[in-house]
Structure 1
Amino acid sequence: MIQFPRIVCSSFCISLLASASAGAGELSTNIDLVVATARQAVRDGLADLDSAGEELSWHGRVLLLPQEETEENWIVEHLLLEELLSRGFEVTLDSTASGSDGAELSYRIVDLSVTGSSGILGGRIERRCRLTLALRLTSGGELRWQTEAMSEIADFVPKSRIEVLQSSSYDFADTELEEKNWGKFVEPIIVSAVLGSLIYIFFTNR
């Protein structure tokens, strides 16, 4: 039996985020970017499970649960639930309702980051989201299958809009900005000039 209150909550959150992105002037918000990256990781992970499906022969109810509690779990939970239901599985989020013949699919977000980098004179920021997702299937207390799926999505946004696209509610979606400075470019030139001068002085004084 599916736990509808939690499912509706996740779906409602996703819908609100989609509406927010439309208000950002056709640019994806950071949350949109995280959701898209997580969706790709979920699909890649379950594709690996699909290929091993006949050997595993798992049937009945599937208990979906996190391996650890994190702020961003709701995104992966919603996406996994969506994919499992589309495959025709009976899914529950209630651990007390799992039968002895059911399987447990647990997930863990191993790594999640949103970074941005910009040039010295450029007006755009390259925004990049990386996510690594671990999935594990157990049945009757026995490990049947596990995998890790990694996904990365990048785009470009104007520097002037980067703050608007941040999330005020979720810290995990904040952009870690790395701006390049003149020092990285000027320092090698100075070192080369000094070395050239020393070599010139050395040979002219001989």
Structure 2
Amino acid sequence: MLVILDWDGTVCNSEARIVSCMQRASDRVGLPVLEPAAIGNIIGLGLPEAIAALFPESHSEQRARLRGFYSEEWVAARAEPLPLFDGVLVTLDQLLGAGHQLAVATGKSRRGLNREFEDHGIGHLFPVSRCADETASKPDPKMLREILAETDVDVADAVMVGDTEYDLKMASAINMASVGVSYGVHSRERLDGCRPHRIIDHFTELLEWPPLVA
């Protein structure tokens, strides 16, 4: 089976850094410094879409400056690599050992995802990935369709795993199975409203989902 993973909030514990970088960047632009919950709500969207959702009254020049400042803040904070969630590495190894394929579908930029791959030395585990600056942002399912086409896998043989309703909605749009993770940015209640096939509380529980059981 093809296991397509969201990155931020699913594989990588990055919520706090995303929030702090957005707060610092918005302050530099002169836009309101929003509460963590508001910023956490848009994690998973592409950066332009996230900024538009957070600051709908901002103009195009402010949004462009905010994107630039956010990228600067993110790079400046990179000296300390972000942690992967507990159990991620062992679970990925077991999925591959059982013959499953892995891919990533993320709201990050290509540059950002490649940095994460480099920091953790696991890019080779994901021969196929799609980022928001390469295709349509979630919840549009275009990135999933592109991953399926590149891997030559039928939608019935794939599952999307993510921590937000954006992940689950894009899977639902093309009738792909989905698994929500409760430890990310969206609540279990929000995930449950998208009717995923399962919601897990720890990454290792993926190995207990029947279609992935070796």
Q: TM-score, normalised by structure 1?
A: 0.28
Q: Which is greater in Rg?
A: 1
Larger strand percent: 1
* Structure with larger RCO (C-alpha < 8 A, sep 6+): 2
* TM-score normalized by the length of structure 2: 0.27
Between Structure 1 and Structure 2, which shows a larger proportion of helix residues? 2
